[in-house]
Amino acid sequence: MSQGLGKNQQKLLLLLLGGLSLSLSRNPRQYFKTLKAIGKGWNEIDRQALKNAIAGLYKSKFLEEKENKDGSLTIILTENGKRKALTYQLDEMEIKKPEKWDKKWRIILFDIPDKKRKERNALRHHLKKIGFYKYQESVFVHPFDCKDEMDYLIEFYNLRRFVRFVVADQLDNELELMVHFRLPMN
């Protein structure tokens, strides 16, 4: 299967990543009874689409099944499935703008070796996508709290030892940054 997954497959991966375990009986009636009991997230996926999504995820090796003693099956995410689900969470990441700016700058500094060029470029891409200002080639700035988002990115790309997170009270070109981020000047 290609890299891009359908919306139902994305939703299924995210729900499973979120700790949902889906036990499926070999009996189709029990299978749908279980699905019906799961709730809201599943209500948006029709039965045939769900079957197709699950089949596609098996084919992509994002899911595997474990047979339980009672004859039911439990669907679990493989490591590749977890990574793929995290990618979808990554694509939806955004930094929340607080009502009032705390007048601090969040600075991401990194020195990532060439052998990790792909990860370095992906990190740059995500930093730009979520609104960071490119201060220098490996230095990005943002005015709002984003420690959790940065921890997530750094862990996702396994770059902890190459990336530093700094909170600063002022920068020498902060006026330019305030204009860029449309922050109040007072």
Q: Tell me what pLDDT residue 104 has.
A: 96
Residues 103 and 93: their CA atoms lie apart, in Å, by 23
Residue 106 has pLDDT above 70, yes or no: yes
Q: Tell me what pLDDT residue 74 has.
A: 76
Instruction: Name the pTM for this structure.
Output: 0.58
Residue 36 has pLDDT above 70, yes or no: no
Q: Tell me what pLDDT residue 25 has.
A: 44
Residues 40 and 54: their CA atoms lie apart, in Å, by 18
The H or E element containing residue 97 is none
* Residue of 3 and 117 predicted with greater confidence: 117
Q: Tell me what pLDDT residue 50 has.
A: 67
Contact between 123 and 159 under an 8 Å Cβ cutoff? The reply is yes
Residue 158 has pLDDT above 50, yes or no: yes
> What's the whole-number average pLDDT of the chain?
78
Residue 21's pLDDT band (cuts 50, 70, 90): very low
Residues 143 and 181: their CA atoms lie apart, in Å, by 8
Q: Tell me what pLDDT residue 175 has.
A: 93
Residue 7's pLDDT band (cuts 50, 70, 90): low
Which whole number is the average pLDDT over 21-25?
A: 45
Q: What's the CATH code, domain 7-91?
A: 1.10.10.10
Can you name the CATH fold of 105-180?
Answer: Alpha-Beta Plaits (3.30.70)
Q: Tell me what pLDDT residue 22 has.
A: 47
For the chain, where are the E strands, in sequence order?
22-24, 63-67, 73-77, 105-110, 133-136, 139-142, 163-168
Q: What angle do CA 43, 22, 92 make, to 5 degrees?
A: 60
Helix axes 117-129, 147-156, angle to 10 degrees: 150
* Residue of 169 and 17 predicted with greater confidence: 169
Output DSSP code: residue 79. H
Contact between 34 and 25 under an 8 Å Cβ cutoff? The reply is yes
Residue ranges of the chain that CATH labels 3.30.70.240:
105-180
Q: Tell me what pLDDT residue 73 has.
A: 72
Which whole number is the average pLDDT over 63-72?
A: 80
Q: Tell me what pLDDT residue 12 has.
A: 66
Residue 30 has pLDDT above 70, yes or no: no
Residue ranges of the chain that CATH labels 1.10.10.10:
7-91
